């Protein structure tokens, strides 16, 4: 029966509306679903042929779905109908329509995965459909009509040569599920369609992505971007595999049971081409690993090449082992032809995140960069103690009328240059307290046993005796037990013998008077305390090293400091002058016993120790200012551990404690990571030199 043209146009317009609304039901790559009565669905296999290079070929046959109500309900299309005049496309089977005077819609699903931007545009998808139909077929990809046979009851529509309709318009395709629809209009007799749909993409691989296994992947904040990974232990006892990541490549279209080939690359360091950090300029192959190959390796092959078979979602997965040197970076390319990878090298795969390389049919992953964690233990010394010298004054001399030297019974030299050796000594700018009655500052300095004040010492005295008027003034000289007095009030007579000479509050028994200004005492007993210009209040409360610059300054070295370890003894005993060799376990009691996390330090778990100390050993404590080396921080080589010398950072030492200490923390940690190394470690702002960035990125573990 032949429909009139008017009715034919009206019915075809209705089908066009149904297609235009895009009525699509869920499924998987090579299955369809039955939904005849909107009940439960069951998978129906389509005999598709998947080839990673040529694409997905879907023939008409078992598993194709049919709807006779405009796409509301779907059932599996049946086979077995026949017409002696029908021709068949190779490897296909005719699908039966509803017969006389009918309209039917057939569909088959395929999947186009997203590219790296979440669209399909860069993939270049295409669809080609060869078609026989009784009587007339219109072919769609989703809602886009790509071809139509003459809407007539004519034999060429179901005989060779088959019509072929194609589209490569990106707008015809969607991310995820897509459908080829074939609308068949039959006039008389049996009806059916026979087709071969070929789905292909210019880019055979839709995407190559990194996926975490046991270590979270983060955004790499440094130049080049991409992903970052910490292939180190979470804790000292961590036994998980921490240096392996998964690579996933998805074919386009998504196809099951096809082989994808992979190759990894050590791409150029994108942070710059300056020597020595990047020793070979713009070339790749500049990773630093010596444990495994610089390109990393696939776990299944222990080389930088490998292959994997796709799953039902068209995804091929392979595990990849990274190196552990901070800043090492990798990219992985995936292709359907192994030979397509041969032309890619460390030098021509760029250190960026562009998935496409000119002339390459596959795609390339983002850059993956190795980062390391530095677990930092912070300690503080306890309060300052015993930062002074005490003894007895046994002489006052030189200067007329005011003496400029005070001789003591103590050894005041500490190894620093002093007045007897081209310097001013530890007590330069210090304070002398005599008994309870005189505080004298600032001192000019000291020699081995004497204190000097260039402008002279004013040491008050009082001579008293019952029944007599007190005599006052200042001491002019003391030799052995004889005092020469500068009398300012009263007259000294022999009658004061047996009285008391009080020197700055210290009583002395007068045994003899030599007028007009000298007295002898039985025993000289003048106590003193002398203190250098150090500030004793700096550690009244525990003060921990200022690490505010450590994170941003370690960032260019691809290291993140964290403060997560248990620290049962965060306060160490006070040490006035502490040498770096006290980190030697053979040295003993002061510092080493308080580095609680030292034993955790290992190649897979980096530990650093920073102690807020007071000042270094003589002669590097800037007492006096002529000390040959004004140490503000020190790191022990080879025993490890760093000290920040708080007192050396004060204004009276010529430095700014607010801005200076954070830079020194960065500086000393640089020594620990570089396992020593020469100066200059940092600039004035705490930025590591290129030489030190190179040394740090070569670090296998910090000191010791």
CA distance 400 to 658: 45
* pLDDT band at residue 201 using 50, 70 and 90 as cut-offs: very high
Give me the mean pLDDT over the 473-491 stretch. Answer: 97
Residue 508 has pLDDT above 90, yes or no: yes
* pLDDT band at residue 20 using 50, 70 and 90 as cut-offs: very low
Residue 42 has pLDDT above 60, yes or no: no
Taking the CA atoms of the chain, what radius of gyration do you get in angstroms?
A: 45
CA distance 114 to 117: 7
Neighbouring CB atoms inside 10 A of 396's CB total: 24
Mean pLDDT, the chain, whole residue set: 89
CA distance 341 to 318: 16
* pLDDT band at residue 255 using 50, 70 and 90 as cut-offs: very high
* pLDDT band at residue 39 using 50, 70 and 90 as cut-offs: very low
Q: What tokens were used for 498?
A: 């047996």
What predicted TM-score, i.e. pTM, was given to this entire model? 0.83
**Fold assignment, 5-201:** Jelly Rolls (2.60.120)
Return the SS3 of 255.
Answer: coil
Give me the mean pLDDT over the 638-646 stretch. Answer: 89
Q: What tokens were used for 312?
A: 């039902």
DSSP 16: H
Q: CB neighbours of 112 closer than 8 A, spacing ≥ 6?
A: 120, 123, 125, 173, 174, 175, 176, 178, 199, 201, 206, 252, 253, 254
Residue 542 has pLDDT above 70, yes or no: yes
Chain segment 551-608, per-residue pLDDT in tens: 999 999 999 999 999 999 999 888 888 876 667 666 555 555 588 898 999 999 999 9
Q: What tokens were used for 232?
A: 């180190």
CA distance 104 to 94: 14
CA distance 317 to 249: 7
CA distance 295 to 109: 39
Lowest model confidence (mean pLDDT) among 26-40, 65-79, 456-470, 532-546: 26-40
Give me the mean pLDDT over the 42-52 stretch. Answer: 63
What confidence score (pLDDT) does residue 12 get?
36
CA distance 230 to 324: 8
Residue 261 has pLDDT above 70, yes or no: yes
Task: Please state, for a pLDDT cut of 70, what percent of the chain lies above it.
Answer: 90
Give the burial string for 478-496 (b: 16+ CB within 10 Å, else e): beeeebbbbbeeeebeeeb
What confidence score (pLDDT) does residue 653 get?
65
Residue 360 has pLDDT above 90, yes or no: yes
What confidence score (pLDDT) does residue 623 get?
74
What confidence score (pLDDT) does residue 593 get?
58
Give me the mean pLDDT over the 22-29 stretch. Answer: 29
CA distance 161 to 138: 17
What confidence score (pLDDT) does residue 639 get?
85
CA distance 588 to 581: 10
C-beta of residue 283 within 8 angstroms of C-beta of residue 347: yes
What confidence score (pLDDT) does residue 586 get?
61
DSSP bridge partners of 560: 373
What confidence score (pLDDT) does residue 647 get?
86
Q: What tokens were used for 564?
A: 């997560």
Q: What would the DSSP string read from start to end of 533-566? A: S--TTTTSS------TTHHHHHGGGTEEEE--S-
Chain segment 327-350, per-residue pLDDT in tens: 999 999 999 999 999 999 999 999
* pLDDT band at residue 4 using 50, 70 and 90 as cut-offs: very low
Give me the mean pLDDT over the 265-282 stretch. Answer: 88
C-beta of residue 518 within 8 angstroms of C-beta of residue 637: no
What confidence score (pLDDT) does residue 53 get?
93
* 59: nearest Cα among 180, 172, 190, 186: 180
CA–CA–CA angle 81, 82, 85 (5° rounding): 150
Task: Report residue 11: phi and psi, to 5°.
Answer: -70, -40
DSSP 15: H
C-beta of residue 590 within 8 angstroms of C-beta of residue 509: no
Residue 532 has pLDDT above 80, yes or no: yes
C-beta of residue 120 within 8 angstroms of C-beta of residue 174: yes
What confidence score (pLDDT) does residue 165 get?
98
Residue 3 has pLDDT above 50, yes or no: no
Where do the domains of the chain lie?
A: 5-201, 205-370, 389-531, 550-697
What confidence score (pLDDT) does residue 575 get?
84
Strand bridging mode 571-572 / 372-381 = parallel
Chain segment 377-430, per-residue pLDDT in tens: 999 999 999 899 999 999 999 887 899 999 999 999 888 889 988 889 999 999
Strand bridging mode 372-381 / 389-397 = unpaired
Chain segment 147-195, per-residue pLDDT in tens: 999 999 999 999 999 999 999 999 999 999 999 999 999 999 999 999 9
Residue 630 has pLDDT above 70, yes or no: no
Chain segment 71-119, per-residue pLDDT in tens: 999 999 999 898 999 999 999 999 999 999 999 999 999 999 999 899 9
DSSP bridge partners of 90: none
Task: Report residue 121: phi and psi, to 5°.
Answer: -60, -45
Give me the mean pLDDT over the 658-668 stretch. Answer: 91
What confidence score (pLDDT) does residue 29 get?
34
- CA 342 and chain centroid, separation: 33
> Which has more confidence, 362 or 24?
362
| The dihedral sign for the CA sequence 577, 579, 585, 586 | negative
Return the SS3 of 674.
Answer: helix
Q: What tokens were used for 114?
A: 């997203």
């Amino acid at each position: 029966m032949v429909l009139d043209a008017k009715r034919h146009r009206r019915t075809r317009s209705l089908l066009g509306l149904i297609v235009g609304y895009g009525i699509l039901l869920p499924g998987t790559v090579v299955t369809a679903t039955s939904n005849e009565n909107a009940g439960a669905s069951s998978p129906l296999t389509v005999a598709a042929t998947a080839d990673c290079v040529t694409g997905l070929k879907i023939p008409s046959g078992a598993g194709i779905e049919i709807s006779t109500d405009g796409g509301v309900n779907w059932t599996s299309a049946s086979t077995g109908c026949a017409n002696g005049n029908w021709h068949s496309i190779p490897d296909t089977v005719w699908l039966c329509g509803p017969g006389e005077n009918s309209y039917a819609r057939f569909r088959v699903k395929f999947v186009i995965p997203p590219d790296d931007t979440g669209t399909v545009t860069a993939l270049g998808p295409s669809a080609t459909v060869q078609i026989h139909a009784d009587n007339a077929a219109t072919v769609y990809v989703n809602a886009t009509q790509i071809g139509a046979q003459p809407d007539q009851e004519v034999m060429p529509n179901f005989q060779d040569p088959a019509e072929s309709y194609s589209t490569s318009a990106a707008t015809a395709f969607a991310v995820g599920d897509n459908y080829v629809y074939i609308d068949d209009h039959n006039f008389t007799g049996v009806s059916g369609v026979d087709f071969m749909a070929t789905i292909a993409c210019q880019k055979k691989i839709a995407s190559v992505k990194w996926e975490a296994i046991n270590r979270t992947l983060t955004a790499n904040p440094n130049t080049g971007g991409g992903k970052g990974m910490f292939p180190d232990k979470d804790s000292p006892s961590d036994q998980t595999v921490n240096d392996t990541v998964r690579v996933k490549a998805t074919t386009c279209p998504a196809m099951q049971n096809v082989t994808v080939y992979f190759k990894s690359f050590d791409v150029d360091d994108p942070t710059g081409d300056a020597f020595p950090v990047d020793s070979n300029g713009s070339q790749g192959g500049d990773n630093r690993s010596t444990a495994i190959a610089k390109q990393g390796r696939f776990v299944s092959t222990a080389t930088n090449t490998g292959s994997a078979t796709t799953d039902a979602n068209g995804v091929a997965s392979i595990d990849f082992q990274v190196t552990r040197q901070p800043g090492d970076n990798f990219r992985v390319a995936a292709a359907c032809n192994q030979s397509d990878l041969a032309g890619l090298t460390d030098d021509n795969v760029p250190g960026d995140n562009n998935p496409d390389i000119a002339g390459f049919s596959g795609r390339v992953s983002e850059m993956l960069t190795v980062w390391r964690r530095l677990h930092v233990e912070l300690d503080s010394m306890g309060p300052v103690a015993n930062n002074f010298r005490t003894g007895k004054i046994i002489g006052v001399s030189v200067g007329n009328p005011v003496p400029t030297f005070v001789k003591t019974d103590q050894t005041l030299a500490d190894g620093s240059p002093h007045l007897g050796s081209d310097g001013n000594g530890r007590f330069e700018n210090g304070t002398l307290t005599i008994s309870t009655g005189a505080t004298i500052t600032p001192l000019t300095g000291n020699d081995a046993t004497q204190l000097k004040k260039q402008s002279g010492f004013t040491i008050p005295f009082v001579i008293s005796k019952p029944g007599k008027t007190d005599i006052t003034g200042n001491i002019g000289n003391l030799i052995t037990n004889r005092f020469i007095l500068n009398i300012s009030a009263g007259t000294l007579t022999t009658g004061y013998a047996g009285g008391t000479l009080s020197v700055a509050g210290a009583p002395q028994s007068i045994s003899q008077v030599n007028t007009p200004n000298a007295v002898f005492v039985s025993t000289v007993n003048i106590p003193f305390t002398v203190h250098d210009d150090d500030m004793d209040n700096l550690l009244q409360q525990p003060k921990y090293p200022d690490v505010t610059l450590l994170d941003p300054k370690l960032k260019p070295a691809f290291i993140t400091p964290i403060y997560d370890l248990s620290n049962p003894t965060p306060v160490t005993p006070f040490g006035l002058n502490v040498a770096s060799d006290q980190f030697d376990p053979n040295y003993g009691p002061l510092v080493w016993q308080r580095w609680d996390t030292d034993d955790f330090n290992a190649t897979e778990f980096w530990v650093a120790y920073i102690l807020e100390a007071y000042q270094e050993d003589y002669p590097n404590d800037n007492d006096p200012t002529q000390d040959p080396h004004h140490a503000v921080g020190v790191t022990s080589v080879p025993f490890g551990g760093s000290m920040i010398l708080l007192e050396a950072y004060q204004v009276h030492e010529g430095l700014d404690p607010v801005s200076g200490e954070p830079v020194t923390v960065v500086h000393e940690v640089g020594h620990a990571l570089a396992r020593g190394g020469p100066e200059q470690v940092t600039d004035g702002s705490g930025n590591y030199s290129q030489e030190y960035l190179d040394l740090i990125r070569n670090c296998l573990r910090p000191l010791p």
